[in-house]
Structure formats: C-alpha cells, structure tokens
Amino acid sequence: MKAKTKNISIVLYKPKYAGNIGSIARAAKNMGISNILVVGTADFDREAMQQRSTHLASDVLDSIQYFESIEEALGNFNYIVGTTARLGKARGPFIAPRAVAKDIADISQKNKVALLFGPEDTGLANEELRLCHAVVTIPTSREFTSLNLSHAVMILCYEIFTATSAATTIATATPKLALSYELEGMYGQIKTLLADIEFLNPENPEYWMMHLRRFFSRAGLLSREAGIIRGICRKLSRYAQHKNT
C-alpha cells in the first residue's frame, strides 16, 4: 500500500527564506505532495519563491496556507511527524526517515499527516516537538550534520513516496486517529488534574507530561478514546475538589 499523499502536508514553522519555500514547493510536487502550511508570517517575496520552485510548481505556491500559531496549523491533523538534527533524551525517541515512512504509508490512508520542519537556523524546539507523535532525525556525517531545509524535506518526502506499508488493504489500515487539538485538550486536562493532586513537580511539570505524551502517542488514541480520558479527568477533578471541601 502506497502512502496517500493527498492526506500529507508539509508544515514549515517560522521559515526565514522565501527561496527555501520555493525549493520545498518543487520538492513536494516531485513527490506528489501539494499541501504546504507556513506558520509565523505570510510576508515572503513571491518572486524569490517562484524562482526556486519553477513555474511547474506555481500551483503549490498558490495553495500555501498561512497560520499565526503552530497549534492552529496542526489542530486538524491526526498524526504529526517532527524533524530535528539536535538529539537529547527530552527530544526523542528518534526514528529514521525510512522507518517512519512505512508508518505514514499506513496511517495516511485514513488520517491527515503533518510533516513538521523548524526554522533553518535553530530547528524545532522542545516546545514544538511535544506536539508530535514521532520525531525523525536524518542520518548524516558527524563532521557536518546540518542539512539545508529543502534537502531535509526532499529526503523525507522521497522515503514516503517510495514506502509501502505492511497493510494489504485499506480495511486493515490504521483507523482515524484523534485530532491534534483533541489531544492537546486532553493533555491540558491531565496536566491540570495531576497538578491538583500534587503529582506533578510544579517547577518542571512538562517533564512528566512529556513521558505521558510519548505513551499516548505510541498507543495511537482514537477520537472517542481521547474523549473517554477527558471524561475521566473531569470526574476525577470534581472528586478531588469535593474531597478538599
């Protein structure tokens, strides 16, 4: 089963150079992907983008969607893949492009998938990676690990384009997962509940929340399941408040 590229979008978080957006549009169209979202600003020179994309990818440039916040841009995606060259326990676990591409081939059959890339100079911070279900790092020479943004996009898109999932029919593909905004609402309720019962360290609450995010990402929650967890959190919060009165 090939990836369903119409369900896959490239999300550029605060890109700095119009030329890179143009190169990414060209790379995306080469691999059958036509959806690009840009977060941060829409103030990019169209001519500079056009020069790098060529006229054949003008339609991809024309359809770019612009968002002010990353939460708004990612809210309606079911599966989000972040990319980074910077490693660390708080940022992983990490997966190679070829491995994640097989998962995306399956998941994209019934779900909207976002490929999230950070600014050219700094990449994605921990704050953005926490929104992701999987984090990809592209193997490079130790002597020079930095990749051009458009090259990183091309590598991941190529692996997705050529990947075939283990599922043999759409009926056996991963079912529709919870949307990002549903999960973020759930995580917010969990965080509030755990803070109320003094489980979280108030000086670093995101440390334990990151472990919970990783756990639920591996589980692949459906919308109904996220709703059940939110309902449990509401009941427990009311119970905790009643016990304290």
- Reported pTM: 0.80
Closest CA to 160 of 208, 229, 223, 96: 96
Eight-class DSSP state of 68: S
pLDDT of residue 143: 79
Amino acid letter, residue 128: E
Tokens of 109: 């059959």
Tokens of 128: 């953005």
pLDDT of residue 20: 94
pLDDT band at residue 169 using 50, 70 and 90 as cut-offs: low
Largest CA distance in the chain: 67
Point out the least confidently predicted range of 58-67, 204-213, 216-225.
Answer: 204-213
**Which class does domain 180-243 fall in?**
mainly alpha
pLDDT of residue 91: 58
pLDDT tens column, 69-97: 999 999 999 999 999 877 766 556 788 89
User: Do 5-172 and 180-243 agree at the fold level?
Assistant: no
pLDDT band at residue 202 using 50, 70 and 90 as cut-offs: confident
H helix intervals, the chain: 18-30, 46-53, 58-62, 70-74, 97-107, 126-129, 149-162, 180-196, 205-219, 223-243
Q: Which residue has the higher pLDDT, 1 or 102?
A: 102
Q: What percent of the chain has pLDDT over 70?
A: 93
pLDDT band at residue 110 using 50, 70 and 90 as cut-offs: very high
CA angle 106-107-112, nearest 5°?
Answer: 140
The CATH code of domain 5-172 reads 3.40.1280.10
pLDDT of residue 95: 87
pLDDT tens column, 32-80: 999 999 999 888 999 999 988 888 888 999 999 999 999 999 999 999 9
pLDDT tens column, 126-153: 889 889 999 998 888 887 777 899 999 9
Q: Which residue has the higher pLDDT, 67 or 214?
A: 67
Whether the bond into 93 is cis, omega within 30 of 0? yes
Q: What values do phi and psi take at 207, rounded to 5?
A: -65, -50
Domains of the chain, residue spans? 5-172, 180-243
pLDDT of residue 68: 93
